[in-house]
Amino acid sequence: MDNNIVTAIDIGTDKICTIVAKPSGDSFNILGYSSVPSLGIHKGLIDDIDLASSSIINSINQVQNELGLNIQSAYIGMTSPNINFKTRIDRMDSVAKNGVITTDDLNCNVSNLIKNEDDVNNDLLHVITLSYIVDGIAGIKNPLGMHTEDLQVDNYLISGDKQQVAKIRQLIKMVGINIDKLVFTPLGNMMSTLTDFEKDNGVILVDIGKGTTDIIVVKNNAILCTDVIPVGGYQFTNDICVTYNSTYDIAENIKLKWGNAELFGISHSEEVDLDTSDDSVLRVPRREVCQLIRERATELARLVKIKLSNHGITDLADMSLVLTGGSGQLPGINSIFRQSLGSNTRLGFPKHSNELKDGLNKPEFSSSLGILLWGLDKKGINNSDGSESNKSDSNLNTKNKTYQFINQIKTLLPVQPISSKLGRVLWK
């Protein structure tokens, strides 16, 4: 297979999505993609590794058969309730050797952390450099060239449960491909969904999937916090199952066809037919079904608010809120979140979604596309001039603001570039 081809695989509770793309100068072509139901995964955790591997193989085979190529490696997106986050300040003793901060000094930050991080319960996924402390002065964004013998670095560490990460590695090994990088899905989602204005002025990105709800907060172009809630679209559907003794598939269909988190405009006399597990048919008020969805949406919004408060983020009115993910599209859910958090709310589609292949231009594929963007950035696509260019639907131009990979990496972190290959220093 062409070494320039990049493959992203998004392993979710609801679906497995595989996207294949190829860089072309400052652009890239989306060659093909597939999305298949996810089996063996519940709330972001692998329950049955054999079923999960069969789902991934099915997704990969669809793309391989379509394109006539053999996928050898991929960037793998993952999320789970067992993702851990912490900040850590480390002293960079190597600076004392020269007395002046060099590129090599800054480059060694991530590699040294990986060597020294001896958490027995977690595997380190990402190191995000927040700022530097020079001679006791904190908050310095780019200390390159400063004279000092006392340099510390403030990092934000994202780690995954060691057992779960091992399962994912085993899973991908069973599939028969190599892992280019395990990517915490919300980081990619941020690249594909948020605008530069939002990241600068403050934004809360809430990705409501089937098994989990992922949260990431960005302000002043810096990540403030990330978190995961083990609640998603599955719980919305399960509430209907339990209440009316129906199967999951029937309840899911009712939710998608008739569900709404807002009761305004829904007649008290309107009824829907619902098949039960004992083969009987119930006629239930639609408002009852919607009330279940409303209560679950209100509870989820409350949990998000509690998570934000735990991270010290309480001034929500000045921040915007972006909902994405498949369950983020439920009618009325944006209104519930807006009322609960007091923030301006919008639905997060992949940016410039009209330029994407048919089917990829939906919120449920934002994270999958974000993982692809991550992988393409690692290929070193250069698009620094920021000019606009019109391309065909299958050939997206990275000079367009939607896909300014290098600039996206710059805006995710408050530090300035310190390597000729941006992202390799700050993201390991």
| C-alpha to C-alpha distance for 181 and 279, rounded to whole angstroms | 47
What residues contact residue 75 under an 8 Å CB cut-off, 6+ apart? 6, 7, 8, 9, 179, 180, 181, 183, 371, 372, 374, 375, 378
Same domain, 342 and 251: yes
User: Do the domain assignments include residue 169?
Assistant: no
What residues contact residue 309 under an 8 Å CB cut-off, 6+ apart? none
Q: Give 33-53 pLDDT, tens digit per residue.
A: 999 999 998 878 888 999 999
User: Of 265, 238, 78, which Cα lies nearest the Cα of 159?
Assistant: 78
Same domain, 214 and 153: no
| C-alpha to C-alpha distance for 422 and 406, rounded to whole angstroms | 7
| C-alpha to C-alpha distance for 251 and 233, rounded to whole angstroms | 12
Same domain, 200 and 320: yes
Residue 97 is part of a domain; what is its CATH number? 3.30.1490.110
Number of domains in the chain: 2
Please say whether the beta carbons of 217 and 311 come within 8 A.
yes
Paired strand residues for 207: 214, 324
End-to-end CA distance of the chain: 25
Helix, strand, or coil (residue 6): strand
Domain that includes residue 259, residue range: 196-349
- Residue 100: DSSP 8-state: B
* Two structure tokens written together for 314: 């309480």
| C-alpha to C-alpha distance for 215 and 213, rounded to whole angstroms | 7
Q: pLDDT (tens digit, 0 to 9) for every residue of the chain, 428 residues total?
A: 567 889 999 998 889 999 998 887 766 778 899 999 999 988 788 889 999 999 999 999 999 999 999 999 999 998 888 888 888 888 887 665 667 888 877 777 666 666 666 677 888 888 888 888 988 898 888 888 888 878 888 888 888 888 889 999 999 999 999 999 999 988 888 888 999 999 999 999 999 999 899 999 998 888 888 899 999 999 999 999 999 989 999 999 999 999 999 999 899 999 998 887 777 788 999 999 999 999 999 999 999 999 999 999 988 988 999 999 989 999 999 999 999 998 899 998 887 555 566 678 888 888 899 899 888 877 655 332 222 222 322 333 333 333 333 333 333 433 332 222 222 223 33
Same domain, 233 and 328: yes
Q: Give 215-226 pLDDT, tens digit per residue.
A: 999 988 888 888
- Of 312, 334, 349, the last residue of a domain is 349
